[in-house]
Structure 1
Amino acid sequence: MRTAVVVGAGVGGLTAAGALARAGWKVTLLERDDRLRPGRAALVLWPNGVRALQALGLSGGLDGICTPVPPAGIRRPDGTWLVQPGASQIGSPPVVVHREDLHDAFIAGLGEQVDVRAGIEVQSARVHRDRPAVGDGRVTFEADLVVAADGPNSVIRRRLAASSTFASAGFAAWRAVIPWYRVPELPREVAPHGEALGDGQRFAYASLGERGSSGGSTRGGIYWVATVPGAPRPEPAAGQLALLRRWFADWHAPVGQLLAATEAEDLVQEPVGELTPLPETFGVPAGRGGYVLVGDAAHAMPHHLAQGASLALEDVATLHSVLVGSTSAGLGPALQEYSRLRRARALRVSQQSRKAAAVLQRRGRLASSLARVNPRALDRAAAVSAEWAGPTG
């Protein structure tokens, strides 16, 4: 039986562990926290991410936990339209899902072949007895394949591709989910989802289900994400929330109401940056096996296009596809094919992310040109990013 060590229990790590186990591999999943945690707030899945889940056999039940987010236009802070509703032509809309609901689905898909080891912080990666291995300074874990899903500051990537570094994108970002019992009654004319752009600032929100719904997720509410120029804030969560309320105080409804209903424990501040340059390869042969990079460990980028989770799922679906056709003689050809497919795809999405950033992060005098935003520019960036058709392309 082939063996794998998966490092990191986020979206990429959990799906990789489950996919390999269902394909007959014996899998060890390493997580540095003391237990598997779902992460907080919510995330967006574009059609490419949903297709990846389908390819992995994990799409069952998505309808019950996901809420579509159709294009709703973009407003200025004063509420006037920057991009009118209906101007976007992105095709199938993304969906928003609570992280805890998606986490539960991934945990259910792990199966009995996954040995979960929590409290293991990987510190090294090296070949051990002719096989790739990682260690935490006390224990060495070796396998035929090591999957690095340990995030933008990946220890394994630093060992395999030392020239690739995670650099700040120049702005701070926050996410939160306000549970329905705290969501204020919003005016009837306020849409259940929307987006607004200011001088380098951005605020977007979307409903997780419907208020009072008895089906689907029990973790519904309003999900919002806000970005502002500058470095991550060092203050405690309560201080960060106070700053957000001040920075967005005069923005149109429901921005102020949503921030007023948010509590400090709802708030999640996340590092936002870009991996530059991308590693030369996402698959590295080592002894009789090798290492692969997935998710942010391979191609972290700012969330202008909200593609982080979807790209990680694409990675895993592609990895699963190339490994199914590999032989027991060695993983080298499969790792090369994985890298060929995924690196080209990551470069393409990264280019589109930069194009979106040119619109979404305008500041100062450039912000005045927001009146001339062509929605087709954002549509093209979103469409190219979501165009992935399946594991072989």
Structure 2
Amino acid sequence: MRSAVVVGAGIGGLAAAGALARSGWKVTLLERDDRLRPGRAALVLWPNGVRALRALGLAGGLEGISTPVPAAGIRRPDGTWLVQPGAVDLTGEIGSPPVVVHREDLHDAFIAALGEQVDVRGGIAVQSARVRRDRPAVGDGRVTFEADLVVAADGPDSAVRRRLAAASTFASGGFAAWRAVIPWYRAPEIPAGTELHGEVLGNGQRFAYASLGERGSAGGSTRGGMYWVATVPGALRPEPPTGQLALLRRWFAGWPAPIAQLLAATEADDLVQEPVGEVTPLPETFGVVAGAGGFALVGDAAHAMPHHLAQGASLALEDVATLQTVLAELAVPAALGEYSRIRKPRILRVLQQSRKAAAVLQVRGRLAASLARVHPRTLERAAAAATEWGGPTG
């Protein structure tokens, strides 16, 4: 039986551990925390991410925990329309819109799919990666884990990537982002005539929001509510969450409804602060051969990029679906080469669109007036890049 070690129990790591186990691998899943914890807040899955879930056999029940995100238009801070509702088609070639899903719901689905072949080890902070006895190995300074395959899914600051591709580092984009989900029992009433999905953009700041299901119903998400994400220029804020929330309320004061209502209903414990940046330069390869086995970089460990296109989770799932497919057909060294050959061009295309979107979404000062001409076209191209994925083999 072939063996694998998966480093990191986020979306990419859980998906990889389950996929390998269902394919007959003996899997050890290493997580820094003492136990597997779901990510907080929510995330957007584009149609390519949903398609990757289907390829992995994980899409069953997704409709019950997700809510479609329509193209609701984009407003300026004064409430006027920057992009009219319906002016941009976000469905792309696949013909379905993105969906928003609570991270805890997705986490539960992935945990249920792990199976009995996965040995979960908590409290393991991987620090090293090397070849041992002609096989890849990782360790935390106390214990070494070796296998035929090591999957590095340990995020943008990946310790495994630092050992394999030292020149590739996570660089801040000069922005910070916050996410939160306000559960329905304390979510504000949205003013009449205001859509439950929307986005407001101005002077480098961005605030987007979406509904997780419908108030008072079981549809959409078992953990329903109002989801929002805000981006502002600057570094991560050192203040405690209460101070961060006060700053957000001040920075977005006077912006159109329902932003003030959402921030007023948000509690400090709801906040998840995240850096905005990218892994640069991209590693030369996403698959590193080590003897008769090797290492595979997936998700943010391989190619973290600014969240403007909300593609992080979807690209990680694409990675895992591709890796699973090539490993079913080839020996590990050859599979790793094929995995990188397939994934690198795709990531470069999406990264290019992400940078173009950032150039528009982060524009500040007088240049912001140009958004009215550029932004719709940029979103159309981003949707095309997000939905062009042809499946695990290309």
TM-score, normalization: structure 2? 0.98
Instruction: Note the C-alpha offset of 1:385.
Output: 2.3
Give the corresponding residue for 1:61.
61
Deviations 1:22-73 (A, max 9, x none): 0000000000001001010000000000000000000000000000001000
Give the CA deviation at 1:382. Answer: 2.2
Match of 1:373 in 2: 374
SS of 1:271's equivalent? strand
Q: Is 1:232 paired with 2:236? A: yes
Deviation of 1:343 after TM superposition, in Å, equals 1.1
Cα distance, 1:187 vs. partner? 1.5
Bigger Cα displacement from structure 2, 13-22 vs 355-364: 355-364
Q: Give the equivalent residue in structure 2 for 1:258.
A: 262
Partner of 1:125: 129
Tell me the distance in 1 between the aligned counterparts of 2:272 and 2:204.
20
1:352–1:385 CA contact under 8 A, matched in 2: no
- Residue identity in the other structure for 1:61: G
Task: Give unmatched runs, 5+ long, in structure 2.
Answer: none
How far off is 1:372 after superposition? 2.8
Give, in whole Å, the separation in 2 of the partners of 1:370 and 1:8: 38
Q: Is the 8 A contact 1:52 1:313 kept in 2?
A: yes
**TM-aligned CA deviation for residue 215 of structure 1:** 4.2
CA shift in 2, pair 1:215/1:75, >3 Å: closer
Q: CA–CA distance in 1 between the matches of 2:281 and 2:33?
A: 29
Deviation at 1:186? 1.4
Provide the residue aligned with 1:342 in structure 2: 343
- For the pair 1:301 / 2:308, whether they are aligned, the reply is no
Secondary structure of the residue aligned to 2:355 is helix
CA–CA distance in structure 2, aligned partners of residues 186 and 356 of structure 1: 29
- The CA distance in 2 between the partners of 1:137 and 1:53, in whole Å, is 35
Q: How does 1:1-393 map to 2 (within 5 A)?
A: 1-91=1-91, 92-215=96-219, 217-327=221-331, 331-393=332-394
TM-score scaled by length of structure 1:
0.98
State the alpha-carbon separation in 2 of the partners of residues 5 and 359 from structure 1.
40
Question: Partners of 1:153 and 1:215 in 2: how far apart?
Answer: 36
Question: Which stretches in structure 1 are left out of the alignment for 5+ residues?
Answer: none
Q: Name the SS of the counterpart of 2:195 in structure 1.
A: coil
3-state secondary structure, aligned to 2:163? helix
> Which stretch of structure 1 is more off in the superposition, 358-367 or 8-17?
358-367
Question: Tell me, what secondary structure is at the counterpart of 1:167?
Answer: strand
Contact 1:131-1:286 at 8 Å conserved across structures = yes
Shift of 1:287: 1.4
Shift of 1:294: 0.2
The 10-residue stretch of structure 1 (58-67 or 85-94) with the greater mean CA deviation from structure 2? 85-94
- Provide, for residues 265-309 of structure 1, a one-character-per-residue CA deviation record: whole Å limited to 9, x for no partner: 000001221110000000001011000000000000000100000
Please tell me whether the aligned partners of residues 201 and 227 of structure 1 are also in contact (alpha carbons under 8 angstroms). yes
Amino acid at match of 1:358: A
Runs of 4+ off more than 3 Å: none
User: Using the alignment, how far apart are the partners of 1:387 and 1:353 within structure 2?
Assistant: 15
SS of 1:337 mapped into structure 2: helix
Contact 2:36 2:122 in 1 (8 A): yes
* Superposition deviation, residue 332 in structure 1: 1.3
Percent sequence identity is 82
Deviation at 1:14, TM superposition (A): 0.2
